[in-house]
Structure 1
Amino acid sequence: MSTLSSRTSAALDGRPVWSDAVRMVDFAAQWMSFDGGDEYILPEFGIDPTAYYRRVLTILQTPPSPPLDPVDRQRIVELCQQKLTLAKSRPLW
């Protein structure tokens, strides 16, 4: 697992500012072994877990993306996909 927080801040084609993208990916890397840390996403980023996982997936699948070990990148992508699949299957009430 790598820490990416030392990267510079720059806009990424309408995606979160680079520092926000790096923070989101760092968080995902730190929490992926603990099922994602969903309860900490809203206080940390101000968005619900479904929006967070969508953003992280977009960040990792759209160049340029933060540098990350390929195995960690794949594990985070799989976690995001799993979380988004679960979110689709939940009733809205």
Structure 2
Amino acid sequence: MIGPNMLYPNISESDRSMIRYLLRWAPFDGGDDEIFPTFGISPGTFYLRVGRLLQAEPDRIPHHNLAELIAYCARKARATSTGR
């Protein structure tokens, strides 16, 4: 069994939590209303931060659709910052 620290080695626990949240909710295009209560930041900031993390650490984030996740984060960051 893979432990939570082995899934994304060398990434902080808070970053791992954000990535897990993104992976859980991205397929449903949802979860925005729980970002602030869960992480204490706006959805726009969340998507900017996670998108940058995915771009900066592509070899450390094992996901077959990494480019799609990065594009999703960029789209959601724009949409949540403009209120759409």
Q: TM-score range by the shorter chain?
A: 0.7 to 0.9
Count, aligned residues = 82
Q: Sequence identity of aligned pairs in percent?
A: 26
Instruction: Kindly report which structure 2 residues correspond to 1:1-93, keeping only aligned pairs within 5 A, or say none.
Output: 5-7=4-6, 18-63=12-57, 66-71=60-65, 73-90=66-83
Structure 1: runs of 5+ lacking an equivalent: 11-16
Amino acid at match of 2:33: E
Q: Which is richer in helix?
A: 2
TM-score (norm 1): 0.69
Structure 2: runs of 5+ lacking an equivalent: none
Distance 1:85 1:23, change over 3 A: same
RMSD of equivalent CA atoms: 2.8
TM-score (norm 2): 0.76
